[in-house]
Structure 1
């Protein structure tokens, strides 16, 4: 069954549902597994024909598993190579495929479950990239879900595996379990109080990586940061998951202390910052994606601190993704240039934040 991306655009992806534990700060918990087929070279060395064969084999296995009723949810398969650029970017904004997968070439696909909790990328950096994402701090159940999916695939195909090294992957840092555990955090108070760099230096000392909104190589837009393990070799899945899980409460405490400090020491300045951000978003006639994320970050913090009472967190969360370029165009049903997107974005924000201003009356 094909998935209607235009229909999907009207909903909110799992990563911003805001329904999980500690969801005022922890946006999502994600676990990713890198796997490769034993009979083919890594993607960087694979020929066009190799890639096509890998995609055909894995797509066929997916269909067999689906036909047997072994998948727990309704799933959809998309031929990424055949998608329009805007649709590929839409899936990136949705966190269902990576930027590298979207911008690559040749045979590649993605399996998506209807609830957007899991996706399986074929022919990204590795032959298979399985990911599961849950709202809030929920690493344990995310691991249980991805382990089940991985077991299903391992019953169908022969993974590249070494008794000494574990699962063999294109990047040496993934060799071993092939596991990458990450949490996405919203840390505006640590940014405002200029403590963020000190916190991240501490994380790097214990081999945890800090990345932006869309993972490796991306900027930390909207004060969103992804914290993840850097290496997998020599540690079990449980140890890796536990290492990330153990540090999250410390980061939550730092962010909450920073928020309390702002309320205690500079409440007027904080209230002014939040109110200005809310006011601009409700009245702007044109606004960029970057400015929108920056202002929404302040509004989201303001709602959580009780400084804004007439907007709910799910609405703010939805605006983070629906105001991204590809989403705006899918919602509008037409392609828009940068200038038109800025106007469309402002209109969308005013409509959803109750700031819509009627056009001036025409004079006779």
Structure 2
């Protein structure tokens, strides 16, 4: 399997069948680790980075070949990838923007079902991440601990008996764990309750970010909720902290949706109908507008305003209409104007099919 084989597929985290998947898109857990025998990435030489990459790649490959890690894996040298391929991996959430845009020896190992990826020479020597559909943090934590243990059997991590795992960023020192849940919260946005909710999260040291994590803005009512500090806490405790908060957010979103159905039904129906209509007929459309309209359609499906259109299709469109995906799917480099035309064509092809119902008929 190669990178191009991923283009037409959907990762496990996009399948839309996990717990609470109407609101929770995915659960992700990431671990930051460094090798004890090398300086942090910001202090490494080019030869250091090359040696770190060689060591970690060979050890992860050995784990895979021994059949200890689940599934098949794809190894990619990020340094050698074209810009569109690096951006494709960012859109797929398999690598970070920093990993895509930095210099020097760096790579990624990807489970072909996209349940996990391992970034080598990102901000830290090693970034392991696991992604599951819906609210499934317990299973994600079990999987990432298994992968972490397998790698730690082969290499010597930088670790302090007093502080825990040592990381490039002080906020990651300790467990090195970042727990993140991606939520779709359109009703809280429409009812203007979202800022109040986020202020409450900040008071308990939970960060709110956009679709692509740190440094990204919220688009299309999709938000990532994650812990900010790991020092002095256990991995289980951090996962529980996020896991305890997310059901409250789900409850708030459901209440807001119920309010819209009972108090603003015509307005809500019009919003969903217009969004669906534009997506099915547009001749040119931007990425940002597409996300906003797909957000309304996704909510409309979950509220029964649109029939016979599965959530996994919408989840797929959220990713496949991003710039790099469109170019990979078309097989051509496209400027912004051509991408807008290609995006509209792709949407029409996937939304104007037999069996989908127009919400104006419901």
Q: What interval of TM-score do these two structures reach, taking the shorter chain for normalisation?
A: over 0.9
Secondary structure of the 1:235 match is: coil
Whether the 8 Å contact between 2:108 and 2:119 is mirrored in structure 1 is: yes
In structure 1, C-alpha distance between the alignment counterparts of 2:291 and 2:67, rounded to whole Å: 41
In structure 2, the partner of 1:152 is: 150
Whether the 8 Å contact between 2:2 and 2:74 is mirrored in structure 1 is: no
In structure 1, the partner of 2:220 is: 222
In structure 2, the partner of 1:191 is: 189
In structure 2, C-alpha distance between the alignment counterparts of 1:98 and 1:14, rounded to whole Å: 18
Matches within 5 A, 1:137-286: 137-286=135-284
In structure 2, C-alpha distance between the alignment counterparts of 1:5 and 1:291, rounded to whole Å: 28
Whether the 8 Å contact between 1:43 and 1:127 is mirrored in structure 2 is: yes
In structure 2, the partner of 1:28 is: 26
In structure 2, the partner of 1:309 is: 307
In structure 1, the partner of 2:71 is: 73
Secondary structure of the 1:133 match is: strand
* Cα 1:328–1:237 shift into 2, 3 Å: same
Secondary structure of the 2:76 match is: strand
In structure 2, the partner of 1:361 is: none
In structure 2, the partner of 1:128 is: 126
In structure 2, C-alpha distance between the alignment counterparts of 1:170 and 1:343, rounded to whole Å: 42
Whether the 8 Å contact between 1:167 and 1:176 is mirrored in structure 2 is: yes
Cα RMSD for the two superposed structures: 1.0
The Cα shift of 1:181 comes to 0.5
Match of 1:338 among 336, 339, 343: 336
Secondary structure of the 1:21 match is: coil
Whether the 8 Å contact between 2:95 and 2:119 is mirrored in structure 1 is: yes
In structure 1, C-alpha distance between the alignment counterparts of 2:201 and 2:23, rounded to whole Å: 17
The Cα shift of 1:15 comes to 2.8
Farther-moved stretch of structure 1 (305-314 vs 335-344): 305-314
In structure 2, the partner of 1:348 is: 346
> Is there any run of 5+ residues in structure 1 with no aligned partner, and where?
357-364
Q: Which runs of 4+ in 1 moved over 6 A?
A: none
TM-score when scaled to structure 1? 0.96
The Cα shift of 1:310 comes to 3.5
1:292 aligns with 2:290: yes
> Is there any run of 5+ residues in structure 2 with no aligned partner, and where?
355-362
The Cα shift of 1:355 comes to 7.0
TM-score when scaled to structure 2? 0.96
The Cα shift of 1:71 comes to 1.6
In structure 2, the partner of 1:39 is: 37
Secondary structure of the 1:210 match is: strand
Secondary structure of the 1:221 match is: coil
Whether the 8 Å contact between 2:29 and 2:141 is mirrored in structure 1 is: yes
Whether the 8 Å contact between 2:210 and 2:222 is mirrored in structure 1 is: yes
Q: Deviations over 1:135-176 (max 9, x none)?
A: 000000000000000001100000000000000000000000
Aligned residues: 354
Q: Deviations over 1:303-352 (max 9, x none)?
A: 00001113221111111011000111111111111111100000000010
In structure 2, C-alpha distance between the alignment counterparts of 1:153 and 1:137, rounded to whole Å: 26
In structure 2, C-alpha distance between the alignment counterparts of 1:67 and 1:307, rounded to whole Å: 48
Match of 2:107 among 106, 109, 117: 109
